[in-house]
A and B are shown apart, each in its own frame.
Chain A
Amino acid sequence: MEKQVIIEKINKFLIEEIEIEESDISPEASLSKDLGIDSLDFVDIVVIVEKTFGFKIKGEDMKDIKTLEMFYDYVEQKVNQN
């Protein structure tokens, strides 16, 4: 899957399902500080990613993922390794 397609899908669910303001979304945005994603939101993101991309996020993988850019890269790597 093209990285741009992955980014668009992630942005779409962040805006439509997690209800993050579109204007807050940028690659350098911090997932917790800028986008306000908390541990409960993350539980829902795991569900949405499984439905959207067909793989299960592992909690330990997310430890070092701080920004949206890093999250895009992580999802791209997971999607394209399958």
Chain B
Amino acid sequence: MNRVVITGMGIYSVLGTNLNTVADSLFKGKSGIGIDENRANFGFRSKLTGIIEKPDIKNLLSRRMRIGMPEQAEYAYLATIEAFKNAKVDQDYLDKNIVGILYGNDSSASAVIEGWEIMKEKKDTSLIGSGSIFKSMNSTVTMNLSVIFKLKGINFTISGACASGSHAIGIAYLLIQQGLQDMIVVGGAQEINAESMGSFDGLSAFSVRENEPQKASRPFDRDRDGLIPGGGAATLILESYENAVKRGANILAEVVGYGFSSNGEHISNPNVEGPTRSLELALKNANLKSSDIDYVNAHATSTLVGDDNEAQSLFNVFGSKTPVSSTKSMTGHEMWMGGASEIIYSILMAQNNFVAPNINFENPDEFSSKINIIPITKEMKMKTFLSNSFGFGGTNSSLIVKML
């Protein structure tokens, strides 16, 4: 079977809109969380959200290319440009080779709502315009990017709730391992708008610590009170080791393990057994022992039950020594994007010899006290890390990446 390597990365997130800025934010433990006052007008329980710089792509793409792109596709486009540059893949390479795309995305709310508003007012669907359908489908990112970059390989979107980005990498890893594709653009994208988040806010899942936005996301901390939605996009270039060597690419890291599972229980409440099985399968797939893992990038989103259960899973598999942090303490919950962005965050840490802090971890609770959570930036060498992503419906994904 082929070895699968990562040769490029690009990021557009609340921690910065390129790799260097994001690495700096991670090292400094900078929060990307703020307040969207507009949410008060719509009855949101929490106005907390990740704050992202709105992109301007007018000078980069034609109207026809832009008109079907919702915000998360714009983030994904910019992240993908950076990833291709990072991987030294140009349009000529894409034109002459079969390159695929698998991206995690699980919603695209604004266009549906805007279209419906026009239908209510005009009673005429032909006045919605041509872009709405392409903006509103879950596959919006893959359909737009495959056209923009003229990709000719595998092309679809993976919707696996908050594990979408992680599963996208896992499935691409399997396809390249099998020799079905030489190179696949993978990633995850997440919209940041009130329209997409109202129903989630309605579950009382979000933190209401509005007086201290940057302290509101506090995974594993005793006083956490819910997650904060974030977003953006993250792209990685995955290819076979052989392909990377053949084209003289700079190999950043190798994907060595993918584990997955389904809880088979509650639609929103996580459990301990499902994530544990996902972790164990990833280790088995990588042929590694838990002691081989230098760092765990936890899924922990700052919810009461989720963090408790993950801490128990991590303790069961890794014991109390392996360094653990949740970068969601800085980014908020990047949902469909998180499984991909957190691989990039972890690689940036490994490249720069540090573990990013789980900020706002001030007091442990019964379960988080048993694992080694890193509350302030820790300088250390890291070779192999594991990243967890869990989602609604009990979908779990774990990836293991080794630096080369």
CA distance A72 to B63 in the complex (A): 23
B126-134, B249-257, B320-328: which lies at the interface: B126-134
- B126–A56 touching, CB < 8 Å: yes
Q: Which residues A29-59 have CB closer than 8 A to chain B?
A: 38, 40-41, 43-44, 46-47, 50, 56
Q: Shortest distance in angstroms between A82's beta carbon and chain B's nearest beta carbon?
A: 17
CA distance A38 to B64 in the complex (A): 10
- A50–B127 touching, CB < 8 Å: yes
- A18–B63 touching, CB < 8 Å: yes
- A47–B62 touching, CB < 8 Å: no
With known contacts A18-B63, A19-B63, A44–B129 Cβ distance under 8 A: yes
- B126–A43 touching, CB < 8 Å: yes
Closest to B67 in A: A44
Q: Which residues A49-80 have CB closer than 8 A to chain B?
A: 50, 56
Pick from B62, B124, B130: contact of A44, CB under 8 Å? B130
Closest to A46 in B: B126
Q: How many residues of B contact A (CB 8 A)?
A: 12
Q: Shortest distance in angstroms between B59's beta carbon and chain A's nearest beta carbon?
A: 11
CA distance A47 to B121 in the complex (A): 13
- B64–A41 touching, CB < 8 Å: yes
- B62–A19 touching, CB < 8 Å: yes
Closest to B122 in A: A50
Q: Which chain A positions have C-beta within 8 A of B124?
A: 56
Q: Which chain A positions have C-beta within 8 A of B64?
A: 38, 40-41
Q: Which residues A1-35 have CB closer than 8 A to chain B?
A: 17-19
Q: Which chain B positions have C-beta within 8 A of A50?
A: 122, 127
Chain B 108-146 per-residue mask, 1 if CB under 8 angstroms from chain A, else 0: 000000000000001010111111000000000000000
Q: Which residues B252-302 have CB closer than 8 A to chain A?
A: none
Q: Which chain B positions have C-beta within 8 A of A47?
A: 126-129
Q: Which chain B positions have C-beta within 8 A of A40?
A: 64, 67, 130
Q: Which chain A positions have C-beta within 8 A of B122?
A: 50
CA distance A50 to B122 in the complex (A): 10
- A46–B127 touching, CB < 8 Å: yes
CA distance A19 to B58 in the complex (A): 11
Closest to B127 in A: A47
CA distance A19 to B66 in the complex (A): 12
CA distance A56 to B126 in the complex (A): 9
Closest to B66 in A: A19
Q: Which chain B positions have C-beta within 8 A of A56?
A: 124, 126-127
CA distance A43 to B130 in the complex (A): 6
Q: Which chain A positions have C-beta within 8 A of B130?
A: 40-41, 43-44
Closest to B134 in A: A40
Q: Shortest distance in angstroms between A71's beta carbon and chain B's nearest beta carbon?
A: 18
CA distance A56 to B122 in the complex (A): 11
Q: Which chain A positions have C-beta within 8 A of B128?
A: 47
Q: Which chain A positions have C-beta within 8 A of B126?
A: 43, 46-47, 56
CA distance A43 to B124 in the complex (A): 12
Closest to B124 in A: A56
CA distance A17 to B122 in the complex (A): 21
Closest to B132 in A: A43
**When A and B form their complex, which 10 residue pairs have the shortest distance between CB atoms, in order from nearest?**
A43-B130, A40-B130, A19-B63, A47-B129, A44-B130, A47-B127, A44-B129, A46-B126, A50-B127, A43-B129
- List chain A positions with a Cβ less than 8 A from chain B: 17-19, 38, 40-41, 43-44, 46-47, 50, 56
- List chain B positions with a Cβ less than 8 A from chain A: 62-64, 67, 122, 124, 126-131
Beyond known contacts A40-B130, A44-B130, A46-B126: 12 more, CB 8 A cutoff: A18-B63, A19-B62, A38-B64, A40-B67, A41-B130, A43-B130, A44-B129, A46-B127, A47-B127, A47-B129, A50-B127, A56-B124
28 A-B residue contacts at CB 8 Å? A17-B63, A18-B63, A19-B62, A19-B63, A38-B64, A40-B64, A40-B67, A40-B130, A41-B64, A41-B130, A43-B126, A43-B129, A43-B130, A44-B67, A44-B129, A44-B130, A44-B131, A46-B126, A46-B127, A47-B126, A47-B127, A47-B128, A47-B129, A50-B122, A50-B127, A56-B124, A56-B126, A56-B127
